[in-house]
Chains A and B, each alone.
Chain A
Amino acid sequence: MFDSLSARLQAVVERLRGKAKVTEADLDVALRDIRLALLEADVNFRVVKDFVARVRERAIGSELLTGLHPGQQVVKAVHDELVNVLGSEPQALRLDGAPTVIMLVGLQGSGKTTTVAKLAVRLRRQGKRPLMVAADVYRPAAIDQLVQLGDQVGIEVHSRPIGTPALEIARSGIEEARQRRHDVVLIDTAGRLHVDEPMMDELVRISGAVTPAETLLVVDAMTGQEAVSVATAFHQRLPVTGLVLTKMDGDARGGAALGIRSITGLPIAFIGTGERTDGLEPFHPDRLAQRILGMGDIVSLVERVQETVDREESERLAERMLDARFTLEDLRSQLRQVQKMGPIGQLLGMIPGAGQLAGAAQQAVDDGQLKRIEAVIDSMTPAERRHPEIIKASRRHRIAVGSGTSTAEVNRLLKQLAEMQRMMRQLGSRGPKAERELGRLFGR
């Protein structure tokens, strides 16, 4: 955890390194940086105040844990308190009612419609027969949008002609669900401002009429200080049961979630990532805590890697990496795995310290270039792949011609490989902890 903090938190750790005892003055300096880090992450300023006060108590009261420097201890106290507030892993969705009604609400542009489709896909995978209801009657083409999504994923959409009020659509949607034996109804509502009284009134009427088992508030991960007011307003007027935090595949830290959770106690039901309908993940408090603190999401990456990487191969690979015996064969097999996994930038971004370790790889690599690199490696002989040091000028030329690239590209690849090997040697020399982390990275 401590290898990958945001720069500001690194500073906290560094400043207190080597101190046997931490004075209150030291602590206050550290907490000021932590306050700033949390504000930068969009945690509501009132919540930050209370939070920092609680951390202060926790840090002062505790003994110095073995193996941790004082700075690390402070950061750990922050991390633990974050996880504490963010709450335990969520319960499954309440699926009572025949049919179960799930209503999605939130501000304009928060991602409700996309989330409805994602939820529908997920529920279907769980053996349900969902029906999506297009009750956004205000946004031009909102109904079309949901209908098209329904077509894309093969899930039925209930819609009515333009001019039908939202309340009526919700009602007829449930009626259709009963008649056609859908067991879950997902209602997409129009985005609305929490300060828009007439629109909030409408939502209350719809909710009253359909009595949802779950009312999910969809919140954009990049929402700022106003997040708490938004959630409070919706929560006061509607039986909101949970949050969906969307656009988490971006780099917004997501501190809005901490604010909302702190003040309203609402659980985070799901995390939305990406625009594709498979982009819905369960919520893990420790991961969000790390993200808010600016750390890489190593666990997500490990899981993704585990889905696609052969376990034995990855163990072997981890060993080779640590021994700096990482060759072009290994790189090629990794590239192939990576191409299966998804956009490289996203993945590399998840590796804590990716800036350092993957810097060399990152330079060469965006999705288009992976194929070129693979072509270069394919044009080498097995001996050349295993011992790239033998690749002198004439071989480089041959490889360039064979792969349809240039000697410059071949040179660049070899240089980057050398850099990666050097960095891995450094990493390997950092001892068992680094080895463990790398191992986790590759599914060990």
Chain B
Amino acid sequence: MISRPRREPGGLGLRPPAGGIGARLRAILGIDAPHSEATWDELEEALVAADVGAATALELVEATRAQVGREASAAQIRGALAGEIRDRLARVGSGRFVLGPAPAVILVVGVNGTGKTTTIAKLAARFKGEGHSVLLAAADTFRAAASEQLRLWGEQLGIEVIAQRPGADPGAVAFDALAAAESRGSEVILVDTAGRLHDKAQLMAELSKIRRVIQRRLPEQPRHVLLVLDAVIGQNGLAQAEAFSQHAGVTGIVLAKLDGAAKGGVAVAIADRLGLPILFAGVGEEAGDLAPFDPAAYAEWLLGS
């Protein structure tokens, strides 16, 4: 596979968003004096610009206001706001992914184009690097060349991929993979699924079915159901998280493509309203471009350190 020309990643592999919320906040909070009503409006706006959503942005600002006094300095406001964001993410378990004992089945779901397959490759590389034996299931039997895509990753990482012909039943692929995992003693099984829009009843039903197939074979599984969200997404992310949660039992979120300029602020709303933890951050297209989600670092990054 050809590598893209590399560019410099920032800190955590995350680049500070160019301009955007950081610059605005620095401009808003640049002076060390008490602030007016307009300041709070502008703060709210800056959060909205990060896709946090109008309702959550308002709540964050109100909560911050309640904390700081009338004479609060820029630094204090910033600190309080970062704290609010961090807390909402942290208290639902963001960044705390525990694989658990073998076998660990991880079902990866999401709408079309969010980066599920690439995320699976990254997770596979990570777990293999930690010394686990990994198996991949190419249960996206719908999209053209989806299993080829996963197979290429498998080749690159030296990890086996279980696949069937296009159009095969995805549940059957998952089942096969579990059987193969058992005979090989694989510790981690990652199951790729086709992208699907969350408002399509039939497709969501299919996902429930895949999950049931896994459950029937291994009653405590899938232990993890990870929803991959594109960081560029807007408020529809909430609807997605809700629907996938309902039909697939999402246990956590991977926020992908954070190396773009989008901040993925809808994740804050998702954690806050739906109680779903953000477990990983995707920051590129290479197998190593995955970091455990760090609520404090994210909050700082969101506000522009």
Contact = CB atoms under 8 A, between A and B. Distances in A.
Interface of A: 35-36, 39-42, 45, 107-111, 137-142, 144-149, 152, 162-163, 190, 192-199, 202, 220, 222-227, 229-230, 247, 249-253, 255-256, 275, 343, 345-346, 349, 366-367
B111 A247 contact: yes
Interface in B1-20: 1-7, 15, 18
A256 to B, nearest CB: 7
Contacts of A367: 202
Contacts of B1: 138, 140, 162
Interface string B1-42: 111111100000001001000000000000000000000000
Contacts of A194: 260-261
B266 interface: yes
A-B pairs with the 7 shortest C-beta distances? A224-B234, A109-B113, A42-B234, A198-B5, A144-B145, A148-B144, A141-B149
B197 A223 contact: no
Given A140-B152, A140-B153, A256 B234 contact: yes
Given A145-B143, A247-B197, A367-B202, A225 B234 contact: yes
Q: Is the interface of B mostly helix, strand, loop or mixed?
A: loop
Nearest to A43: B234
A196 B143 CA distance: 27
B144 A247 contact: no
Given A145-B144, A346-B200, A223 B5 contact: no
Nearest to A190: B4
Interface residues of B, number: 57
Interface string B233-252: 11111011000000000000
B198 interface: yes
Nearest to A224: B234
A385 B263 CA distance: 58
B2 A162 contact: yes
A222 B237 CA distance: 8
B51 interface: yes
B136 to A, nearest CB: 13
B236 A141 contact: no
A190 B5 CA distance: 13
Contacts of B3: 138
A58 B4 CA distance: 50
Contact of A198 (B4, B143, B152, B237): B4
A36 B235 CA distance: 12
Nearest to B48: A45
Nearest to B3: A138
Interface in B204-250: 205, 230, 232-237, 239-240
A144 B202 contact: no
Given A198-B4, A223-B234, A345-B200, A144 B144 contact: yes
Contacts of A138: 1-4, 285
A230 B112 contact: no
B50 interface: yes
Contact of B260 (A45, A107, A145, A190): A107
Interface string B42-80: 000100111101110000000000000000000000000
Contacts of A39: 48, 53-54, 235
A346 B112 CA distance: 17
B197 A249 contact: yes
B102 interface: no
Contacts of A142: 145, 149
Given A192-B4, A343-B201, 18 more contacts: A39-B53, A40-B235, A109-B112, A109-B230, A138-B1, A138-B285, A139-B149, A140-B152, A142-B145, A196-B7, A197-B7, A199-B4, A222-B240, A224-B232, A224-B265, A225-B48, A226-B261, A345-B199
Nearest to B50: A225
A195 B18 contact: yes
Contacts of A144: 144-145, 148-149
Nearest to A202: B5
A108 B144 contact: no
> Which of A147, A193, A253, A349 is most buried by chain B, counting CB atoms within 10 A of its CB?
A193
Contacts of B240: 222
B260 A199 contact: no
A139 B49 CA distance: 30
B192 interface: no
Interface in B234-282: 234-237, 239-240, 257, 259-263, 265-266
Contacts of B230: 109, 220
Nearest to B196: A275
Contacts of A149: 144
B170 interface: no
A249 B201 CA distance: 13
Contact of B113 (A42, A111, A192, A227): A111
